[in-house]
Amino acid sequence: MPEHINIEEQIQDYIDGFCNDQEAVEIERNIAVNPAWKATYASLSEINRVLQSDFEPMEPSMRFSKNVMDQIAGLKIAKPTRQYLNPVVIWLIGGVLVTMLVFIIGYAVSLADWSATGSSTSLKIPEVKMPAVNWGGYVNNNTTMLFLLLNTVLGFTLFDKWLRRKKAGV
């Protein structure tokens, strides 16, 4: 980094009050004895002074506050986000994921051939045979009807819940 930039940064930190006491003393000493430091300090403190004294926020129109209050007049404060998130559900999901992970790792470790060494060529990937499941056997008229019935009940339940909420004006 060029020296003059380093000097600028140090002096700016001094002006902003970002340096510690020891650094401040060192910078003050440099400003007092070194013309380059003195000139940089004068330049930076001038822009800082302008920003502190001549820089004012802009003013919105006179009706601003009234407009905002008019807009929020019919509004309700929303429930905090954390109330939507049930911690029990989060812990449950986390628990299921951790259990699955532990089970998969445990299963993989139990199938590993620990007698194999890193240098040997006998390293085998454990074979996993999935049990043959005859899915076709489960799909019949009864199961289809049961599935449709459950969905219909679930649909009516949700519809009823929605109507109740609508009636309560939530």
Partner 1 sequence: MTSTTSEQELIARILKGEQQHFAVLVERYQSMAFTIAFRYTRNREDAEELAQSAFVKAYRSLADYRGDAKFSTWLFTIVSSLGLSFVRKKKLDTLSLTNEKVQVAADGMSGGFSANTIETKSKVQMVQKAIGMLGTDDAQVLTLFYQGEQSLDEIGKIMGIDPNTVKVKLHRARGRLKKMMETNFAEEISNLQHA
Least separation in angstroms between CB 47 and partner 1? 5
Least separation in angstroms between CB 85 and partner 1? 12
Chain residues in the site for partner 1 (CB under 8 A) = 8-9, 12, 18, 43-44, 47-48, 50-52, 54-61, 64-65, 67-69, 71-73, 75, 77-82
User: E strand or H helix at 65, and its extent?
Assistant: helix 64-72
Q: For residue 149, give the DSSP letter.
A: H
Least separation in angstroms between CB 154 and partner 1? 31
Which residue carries 């992970």 as its tokens?
101
- How far is 129 from 59, CA to CA, in rounded Å? 73
Q: For residue 126, give the DSSP letter.
A: P
The nearer residue to partner 1, 11 or 31, going by C-beta atoms, is 11
The nearer residue to partner 1, 9 or 23, going by C-beta atoms, is 9
Least separation in angstroms between CB 19 and partner 1? 12
- How far is 41 from 35, CA to CA, in rounded Å? 10
Q: Compute and round to an integer the Cα radius of gyration of the chain.
A: 36
Which residue carries 């445990």 as its tokens?
106
- How far is 34 from 45, CA to CA, in rounded Å? 16
The nearer residue to partner 1, 73 or 88, going by C-beta atoms, is 73
